[in-house]
């Protein structure tokens, strides 16, 4: 009996010591974890501050009546600009940058894509509240219009488009919209995707891609610099399940595909090259 009691007492003492050590160790780690979290947060904020200015350069003059297509009140719950024949075999979702679906250059690209034989949908993910630089800080605006919310709202849009009988669905995203396309491509909701001067897209996103993916990056881009885009390319090259294409355009800056000056022939020409690559990717994988 004595030996059993002694053994039980030893076990109790041992457990008490372990718990005491664990509490002490946690108290020791807590300030370290806090410092690491704060350092990471500061770094992310610095990266965001560096990138946010270029995300908002050359804001378009929005025009609700621009484009040759039409505006419908609801596709999957969102108002949208649509172009192309509903009898097309494939449909493409264009996911805008922070300036929204009324940007004339974006709608012009939707019309150009429709002319290649696609049904094109450009949803209003911001519910008539696109980013206006003079009205609100970008960080505050993004708090109301995060990419996670965009992805959740994109899913019923994709389902609504599929219900119309299209045999294949693709999606292209610009800046903010590229992250939404990444999520769609990870979920298997689309067959092919294109990211143009992406924002918020991470290495982990690229590792999880399940759709054929093209990435069109800019040489002058703090948001997704060429080094990061090349890293994306390396990761995609190891994914035998999907086809991929990565191109970095020399001499252009973030946003060049949809925020160019139409009167600037050189800028318009560089944008047109990216548009051709985007449409060609969808022709290859959706038709």
Q: Specify the pLDDT at position 52.
A: 58
Q: Please give the structure tokens belonging to residue 134.
A: 């003079």
CA dihedral (219, 116, 82, 259) in degrees, to 10, reads 20
CA distance linking residue 229 with residue 218, whole number of Å: 9
- Percent residues over pLDDT 90 in the chain: 79
Q: Which residue has the tokens 């704060």?
A: 38
Count of H-run helices and E-run strands, the chain: 8, 8
Q: Specify the pLDDT at position 2.
A: 40
Q: Specify the pLDDT at position 27.
A: 58
Whether pLDDT at 42 is above 80: no
Residue pair 286/96 in contact (Cβ under 8 Å)? The answer is no
Q: Please give the structure tokens belonging to residue 65.
A: 């009546």
pLDDT tens figures, 49-95: 445 567 788 899 999 999 999 999 999 999 999 999 999 999 999 99
Q: Specify the pLDDT at position 119.
A: 99
Whether pLDDT at 4 is above 70: no
Q: Specify the pLDDT at position 55.
A: 78
Q: Please report which confidence band the pLDDT of residue 241 belongs to, taking 50, 70 and 90 as the band edges.
A: very high
Instruction: For residues 232-259, give the mean pLDDT.
Output: 98
CA distance linking residue 135 with residue 30, whole number of Å: 40
- Region 56-286: CATH code: 3.40.50.1820
Residue pair 79/161 in contact (Cβ under 8 Å)? The answer is no
| DSSP classification of residue 175 | T
- Percent residues over pLDDT 70 in the chain: 82
Residue pair 218/256 in contact (Cβ under 8 Å)? The answer is yes
Model confidence, pTM: 0.83
């Amino acid at each position: 009996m004595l030996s059993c009691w002694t053994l039980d007492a030893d076990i109790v003492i041992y457990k008490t010591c372990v718990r005491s050590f664990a509490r002490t160790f946690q108290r020791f780690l807590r300030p370290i974890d806090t410092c690491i979290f704060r350092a990471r947060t500061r770094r992310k904020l610095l990266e965001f501050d560096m990138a946010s200015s270029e995300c908002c350069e050359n804001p378009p003059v929005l025009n609700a009546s621009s484009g040759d297509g039409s505006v419908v009140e609801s596709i999957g719950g969102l108002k949208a600009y649509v172009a192309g024949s509903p009898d097309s075999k494939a449909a493409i979702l264009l996911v805008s940058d922070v300036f929204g679906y009324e940007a004339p250059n974006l709608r012009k690209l939707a019309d150009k894509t429709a002319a290649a034989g696609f049904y094109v949908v450009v949803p209003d993910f911001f519910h008539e509240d696109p980013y206006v630089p003079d009205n609100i800080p970008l960080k505050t605006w993004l708090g109301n219009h995060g990419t996670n919310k965009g992805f959740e709202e994109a899913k019923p849009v994709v389902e609504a488009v599929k219900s119309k009988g299209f045999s294949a669905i693709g999606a292209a995203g610009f800046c903010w919209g590229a992250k939404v396309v990444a999520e769609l491509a990870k979920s298997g909701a689309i067959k092919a995707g294109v990211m143009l001067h992406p924002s918020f897209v991470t290495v982990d996103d690229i590792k999880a891609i399940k759709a054929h993916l093209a990435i069109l990056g800019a040489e002058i881009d703090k948001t997704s610099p060429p080094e990061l885009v090349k890293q994306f390319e390396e990761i995609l090259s190891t994914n035998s399940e999907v086809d991929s294409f990565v191109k970095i355009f020399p001499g252009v800056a973030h946003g060049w595909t949809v925020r160019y000056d139409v009167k600037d022939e050189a800028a318009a020409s560089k944008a047109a090259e990216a548009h051709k690559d985007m449409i060609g990717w969808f022709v290859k994988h959706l038709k």
